[in-house]
A and B are shown apart, each in its own frame.
Chain A
Amino acid sequence: MSDVLKGNFKPQNAVVVPEEKPETLEERFERTALKRLGGSIAFVSKKKVMWDLKDKV
């Protein structure tokens, strides 16, 4: 149950908002690094990596 819906009556169906997962250390690092992006501060956004290990040589 959540109160994301606010009004002057009770809707028929409750809106259940899933509990937010706490921020992981990886997420915290990437968020913090992004704020200081530039110059020697560059990083890998791990969720955006498209893995490709095929040897192309």
Chain B
Amino acid sequence: MAKVLFINPVVREEDVPRHIPYGIALLATLAMEKGHLVQVYDENAWRKGEAVLRQVLTADEWDVVALGGITTAYGSIKTIVRLARRLCPRALIVLGGGVLTSLPREMMGFLPEVDVGVIGEALVTFNEILAMLDSGVRDWGKVLGTISRGPDGALIMSGQRPLIENLDSLPYPAWDLFPLEEVYFKNSESLFSEEGMMAKRRLDINGSLGCSLVCKFCFHLGITGDMRYEEDEAGVVNVAFDRKGSYTRAIRYHSPEYIVKMVKFAYDKYAIDFVAFIDENLMTMDQHSGRTWLKEICRLWHEYGLAPQKNPDGTWTGVCWGGTSHATLCNPEILKIMREAGCAQLVYGYESFAPHVMKSIGKGATPASNMRSFFWTLEAGIRPIPNQIIGFPNEDFDSLRANMEAWKKLGLVVKPHFATPYPGSEWFTVYRKQIERQYQGDLEQFILDLGDASKSSAIISHNFNAVELIGLRDLMMSFNWRQLDEYERIWRINRGIPEGKPSTLYPGAGPHLAIDEPAKPSLTLVAGA
């Protein structure tokens, strides 16, 4: 049986660790069920530095060093695999997750230390890799869902791994292999609601995999049916994701019984007081189930004694919870039922309150449905978390003002994200040349620069460059209408847009999105012009 070391890389270094890596925790259970010897080092949780990482890598004769994560963990992953290759020369280094799946060929190039990459869902693939290792064979091209290196160094992409059909066949994540008491429960607070703020023992739960929506800034990690294998003219096979006119999705969810029994198990074993559903979108699942899924989860939440009983000081017994919703897919009835079962907070990706922007992003929502869901959610007693983004391709002064007006009317206090073309998203595919140009042709630098979109990275706004977006966000947050109007006047002169014409270059673009020519500074307006 293989001796496996899982390492969870560091992500969001600017914040404390808050989330047990659900995928690694599941893979650990699955590997142990097959009799493998497993250890987990949660580098993101411990953050003990290289000296401890060296000890971890030399703590045993590892057959496999396995790691994975989302794209923003790339910097940490790069450090870990370099050290792992040096200190564990005979170990098989396996990398999976969204970071590998979004750009498998590029990642295998950036990280020559990686032996096998797992593309898409690893739940079956990883144990097949371990089984092959145990058999003494190393023919990774025969394991579906992998990318590996041939004897000549050429990359070998095996066939696509089908998604598992029955999520209820999965075991519970190996929570015991992560520092719950030492790290995660101490960081239970989530500032999305009063209950979220007061949570002392929060645990993440995933009830579903999938999302029916086609937001152009989103990437689904290849586990929601969004990934296809395509062959180019030269016969090279590669992954492909959302593209205009080509959207594919698979909707999968656990049964309400599975979910609530898992929560009850965690409640009894760890005394959890809050569950954060990390599902992409709970409402998608509810709609797909014919509006039965969430109702049944809520009914069982009561039946299993999990519905919170509030105390006068705001504390509670039972389990409060929160998750993700969608402006068009929610309704007052389900929101009320959810609140009665302990739902405290729901994330809404409202993104924008400008009709022309909402129409362009593939969300299936409008400013009107945003506002309607906002009031429904508040009426139900749940805090809506009104996420906003600026810097969309067709963002303009009108859309910025529409957002500010909505924030004023709805009492929203927000610092918007910047629209970011994460690898795997439709906008990454559409704007790849412009992105690479902004990083002098070095895609890896872009990936290293990616964070949680609260800072600017590659810009895809046709009208505004990074400096403008940062400044405009500041003016928006302080409701500085005067300086916004003044900047629009300057911006129009710089772009040569005469009075009476709309303040936009879209579908054209400013020099910051040019592909071929070096960027030229835009014209500057001298004082008094």
Nearest CB of A to B76, in Å = 16
In residues 10-24 of chain A, which contact B (Cβ within 8 Å)? 11-18
User: Cβ of A14 and Cβ of B37 under 8 Å apart?
Assistant: no
Please give, as numbers and ranges, the residues of chain B lying within 8 Å of A13 by CB-CB distance. Answer: 55, 58-60
A12 pairs with B40, CB closer than 8 A: no
Q: Tell which of B46-54, B287-295, B394-402 binds the partner.
A: B46-54
Assuming the contacts A13-B58, A13-B60, A15-B56, asked whether A6 and B40 have C-beta atoms less than 8 A apart, the reply is: yes
Contact with A along B30-62 (1 / 0, CB 8 A): 001000011111100010100110011011110
Q: Mark A1-36, 1 if CB is under 8 A from B, else 0.
A: 000111111011111111000000000000000000
| A-B Cβ contacts below 8 A, count | 52
B178 within 8 A of A: yes
Report chain B residues within 8 Å CB of A17.
Answer: 46, 48, 52
> How far apart sit A16 and B48, CA to CA, in the bound complex (Å)?
11
Interface residues as binary, B55-76 with A (CB distance below 8 Å gives 1, 0 otherwise): 1101111000000000000000
Residues of chain B within 8 A (CB-CB) of A18 are 51-52
Taken together as a complex, chains A and B put the C-alpha atoms of A7 and B39 apart, in Å, by 4
Interface class of chain A by DSSP: loop
List, in ascending order, chain A residues with CB within 8 A of B58's CB: 13
Contact A8 B38, beta carbon cutoff 8 Å: yes
The reply to whether the CB of B334 lies closer than 8 angstroms to some CB of chain A is: no
Q: Which residue of A lies closest to B43 (CB)?
A: A4
Given known contacts A12-B61, A17-B48, A18-B51, is B56 in contact with A6 (CB within 8 Å)?
Answer: no
Q: How far is the CB of A29 from chain B (nearest CB, A)?
A: 20
User: Does B38 lie within 8 Å of A15, measured CB to CB?
Assistant: no
CA–CA, A51 and B243, complex, Å: 54
The CA of A18 and the CA of B48, in the complex, are separated in Å by: 9
Q: Give the contact-size bracket for chain A.
A: 10 to 19
**How far in angstroms is the closest Cβ of chain B from A20?**
9
CB neighbours (8 Å) of B176 from chain A are 6
Q: Is B41 within 8 A of A12, CB to CB? A: no
Q: Which of B48, B51, B55, B176 has the most CB of A within 10 A?
A: B55
Which residues does chain A contribute within 8 Å of B39, judged by CB atoms?
5-7, 9, 11
Q: Is the interface of B mostly helix, strand, loop or mixed?
A: mixed
B470 beta carbon closer than 8 Å to chain A: no
Q: Which residues of A contact B40 (CB under 8 A)?
A: 5-7
Once A11-B39, A15-B52 are accepted as A-B contacts, the answer to whether A5 and B32 lie under 8 Å apart by CB is no
B177 within 8 A of A: yes
B37, B46, B55: the one within 8 Å of A7 (CB): B37
B55: A residues at CB distance < 8 A: 13, 15-16
Cα A6 to Cα B179 with chains together (Å): 8
Closest to B57 in A: A15
Q: How far is the CA of A8 from the CA of B52 in the complex (A)?
A: 20
Closest to A16 in B: B55
Q: Is the CB of B52 within 8 A of A14?
A: no
**Nearest Cβ distance between residue B83 and chain A, in whole angstroms?**
14
- On chain B, the residues within 8 Å of A6 by CB distance are 39-40, 42, 176-179
From residue A45, how far is it (CB to closest CB) to chain B in Å?
Answer: 16
Contact A5 B41 (CB under 8 A): yes
- Among B46, B48, B59, contact of A11 (Cβ-Cβ < 8 Å): B59
Known A5-B39, A8-B38; judge A14-B178 contact (CB<8 A): no
- Closest chain A residue to B51, Cβ basis: A18
Report the Cα distance A6→B38, complex, angstroms. Answer: 8
Residue of A nearest to B182 (CB): A3
Most-contacted residue by chain B among A9, A11, A18 (CB, 10 A): A11
The answer to whether B60 touches A12, judged by C-beta atoms less than 8 angstroms apart, is yes
**Complex: A45 Cα to B55 Cα, angstroms:** 31
Q: Which residues of B sit under 8 angstroms from A14, Cβ to Cβ? A: 59
Of chain B, the residue at the smallest CB distance from A12 is B60
CB B14 to nearest CB in A, in angstroms, measures: 11
The distance in angstroms between the C-alpha atoms of A4 and B42, with both chains bound, is: 7
B56 touches A7 (CB 8 A): no
Q: How far is A9 from B28 in the complex, measured between Cα atoms in Å?
A: 13
Could you tell me if B46 and A8 are in contact, using CB atoms closer than 8 angstroms? no
How far, in whole Å, are A8 and B37 apart by their CA atoms in the complex? 6
Could you tell me the distance in whole angstroms from the C-beta of B7 to the nearest C-beta in chain A? 10
Cα–Cα distance between A17 and B54 once the two chains are bound (Å): 11
Q: Which residues of B contact A8 (CB under 8 A)?
A: 32, 37-38
Query: In whole Å, how far is A56's beta carbon from the nearest beta carbon of chain B?
Result: 32
Sample (11) of A-B pairs whose CB atoms are under 8 Å apart? A4-B41, A5-B56, A6-B40, A8-B37, A9-B39, A13-B58, A13-B60, A14-B59, A15-B52, A15-B59, A17-B48
Known A-B contacts: A9-B38, A15-B59. Give 8 more (CB < 8 A).
A4-B48, A6-B39, A6-B40, A6-B178, A7-B37, A9-B3, A11-B59, A18-B52
- Please provide the 6 A-B residue pairs with the shortest distance between their CB atoms, ordered closest to farther: A7-B39, A11-B59, A11-B60, A6-B177, A15-B55, A9-B37
